[in-house]
Chain A
Amino acid sequence: MSRLSSAADPEDAPHAPTGEAGDEVVDPVRSQLLADLRQHMGPAVLDSEVAGGDLWVRIDRSAWSKAADVLRNSMGMDYFCFLSGLDWMVNPDLSGEKVWDPDGGVSIDGGDDEAAAADAVVEDTGGGIKTGVAGGSTRFQVFARVFSTTAKVGITLKADLDERDPRTGSWVGVYRGADWHEREAWEMYGFEFDGHPGLRHMYLPGEFEGHPLRKDFPLLAREVKPWPGLVDVEAMPGEEAAPDGADEGADA
C-alpha cells in the first residue's frame, strides 16, 4: 500500500508547484509521471502535489474526460480504482437545524495549535470553502484514482465543479468501471456526467430526494437523538482536561 501522508496543511496546500518539493523527499517516478501528464494536457493541469509517495493532480473540468483518455491510452494507467465526490462546505446552513459538530462542545485542547488551526479554517472562509491537497476554488470537487499495474504507481485526479451546476464529462467511454461510480456520485452528490449511458439511483429508492453525502444534508439519526459517543471523548472524572501524555487504549 502506498503510505501517503499528505503533508498538505490546508493553509499552504493550494499552491505547491511541482519540482519545488520543499523538505519532502523528491520522488522521481511521480515527478516524471506529472511531467508526462503536463505534456499531454497542457494548461488543463491546474495544480498538483507530489507528497508522501503519492501524486495529486487538479485539472480543469472541461478536460476531465480527456484526462481519462490520456491516462489510460498514453500513460498506461490500466486499472480504474474509484471515482467519487468531495463537498468542502465547512459550516452547513441547515436553517436552524443542528448537526453534531465533532469539534464543538468539547472543551479540550483549548489553546492547542491544531484546534486553533481548525478554527482558523472555519473563520477565514466565513463558512465557505477550504479545499485540500492540490487546491481548488469551488465547493464541489469530483475526484478519482487510477493505477498502473505494470509500473505500480497511482494518481489521484481532482476537478472543481460549478456549485450551481456540478457537471463534467463521463469516464465511462474510457473506463467502463466508472459507470457505477458515476451513478453513485450522481446519487450522493448530484453531479452530472455528460455522456453517461444512464444516471439512475444506485442504492436509494427511486423517489428519494436530495443528495445524502452533501454536507448540508442533515443526518436524521442525529436530529432525533444526540450522539452518545460525545461522552466518550470528554475528560474522565477527576482528570485534567486534555492530557497530552500517552495513555494506552486510545478510546479506553
Chain B
Amino acid sequence: MVATTDWQKSAYIAGQAADARVNVELETEGMTLNLGPQHPATHGTLRIVVRLDGEQVVWAEPVAGYMHRGYEKLCEVRTYPQVTTLVNRIDWLGHFANEVPFILAAENLMGIEAPPRAQWIRTIFFEMARIANITLFLGDMGVQLGAITPIFFAFRDREHVLNLMEAATGGRFHPNYDRIGGLKEDLPRGWVEECKAAMKKMRGFCDEIEDLLMGNEIFQKRTRGIGVIPPAVGLEYGLSGANIRASGVDWDIRRDEPSPLAYKECDWKVWTHPDGDSFARYWVRLQETREATKIVDQLLESLPAGSIQAKVPRIIKVPAGESWVHTENPLGEMGYYVVSKGGLGPFRVKIRTPSFNNVSITPWLLRGVYVPDVITILASLYFILGDIDR
C-alpha cells in the first residue's frame, strides 16, 4: 500500500506496527476464500478468489466471464442502427450513456453531425444516466458497510430520473433512443418542467446522503485510508472516471476534449480529491452527481429549438475508415474503436469499457488488506459486471 498524504502515511505506519504485533501472537494457517460469484458487492456475478493469512489477504484474483455475451462478435453481424440495442446492456445502470460514443463514432465516419437540439438532448440524457447510475452507488456503498437505510433512499430517488427517461424514451433501463444523425423522438410536452423539478429532488438526495452517510463516523473509519491508489499506478492500470479523479488526477473527457456534445455550453466543475482512498472515491462521485444535475438544469434552460434529426439515408452505410470515440461515462472512460469497410454493419468494434480496467487493479490493490476492507474496496471501485464482461 502506498500513501499519498501525510495523514495516510502516519495511519499506514501505525497500522503496520499493530499488524506485526498481532501476527506474532496469532499465527494461523492460510485458507482460500471464494467471494462470489454471487455477492452483493459484485453488482452481478464476479468471483474473487482470495488467499487469506488469518484476516489478511495474501493474494486475490478476480475471475470474470460469468456474464460474457460476446458483444464484439455480435456487433460484426448487426447493422449500425441495430448495435445500439446491444450496447445499452453493457453498463445497464448507465444505459443511455453507452449508446452515445458508438453513435458519435458512426457519425464521425459518415461525416455528419446531429443538429443542436439533438446534441443538447443527448447531453441531458447522458447526464441523467450518470445521475441514475451513481445514485445507486451512493446508496449501495452504505449497504456494503452495514448501513441499510441509504439504499432505500437511493432506489426511491432514482425513480425520479428513471420515470423521466421512460416518459421520453419508452424504456427505463434500455432506452435505445440515440440514432445516427439524431434521436428517435422529441421530448414529450411538459417534460422540461418535470425534469427541472426532478433535478432539484436529486440535489436534495445528495444533501440527504451526505448528512446520513458521509458524515457518519463509522463510515469514515471504514473508508478513509482503505484501498489507496496512487495516481501513477492507477493510470498504469487504466483507471478512469471518478476512480482516478479521487487520486488527484484532474482529467475529465467531458471538459478536456472537443466533442459535439453540449458540455462547453455549461458552467460546471470537475472535482478531484488528493487521498485516493475509498472515501475519496465516494466523495468525488457525490460531487459529480451534484454537478450533473447542474449541467442538466443549464441545458434545459438553453435548449435550442429545431429539428432533432439530421438528413441521413434510410439505409445507413458507413464509409470505410477507422474511428475511436470515447466519452466520460458514469463508470469512467468508455470508447468504441469502430472499423468500417463501407458496409451496412461494422467490420470490427472494439469496446473499451471502464470497469474492465477498473477491476484489473484489484489483484494489486487487495494485497494485504483485511477481509471486511475487501468489500469496501470493491464497492468503492464501483463496477458493473456487464461492463467488465461485455
Contact = CB atoms under 8 A, between A and B. Distances in A.
Nearest to B325: A1
A167 to B, nearest CB: 21
Contacts, number: 208
Q: Size band of the B side of the interface?
A: 35 or more
Interface string B326-338: 1100000101010
Given A4-B323, A121-B342, A133-B322, A251 B81 contact: yes
Interface string B215-258: 00000000000000000110111101000100001010100111
Interface string B59-70: 000001100101
Contacts of B319: 9, 114
Contact of A80 (B236, B315, B320, B339): B236
Interface in A64-99: 72, 78-82, 84, 86-87, 90, 99
Interface string A107-137: 0110010110110010000000010110000
A2 B64 contact: no
Contact of A82 (B70, B321, B339, B350): B350
B79 interface: yes
B326 A2 contact: yes
A6 interface: yes
Given A2-B324, A202-B65, A250 B235 contact: no
B84 to A, nearest CB: 9
Contacts of A114: 317, 319-320, 342
Interface residues of A, number: 77
A3 B240 CA distance: 19
B259 A1 contact: yes
B293 interface: no
Contacts of B64: 202-203
A190 interface: no
Given A176-B364, A232-B79, A250-B181, A117 B342 contact: yes
Contacts of B160: none
Interface string A37-66: 000000000000000111010000000000
B30 interface: no
B326 A1 contact: yes
A6 B321 contact: yes
> 6 tightest A-B contacts by CB?
A251-B81, A246-B311, A203-B65, A102-B345, A177-B237, A203-B68
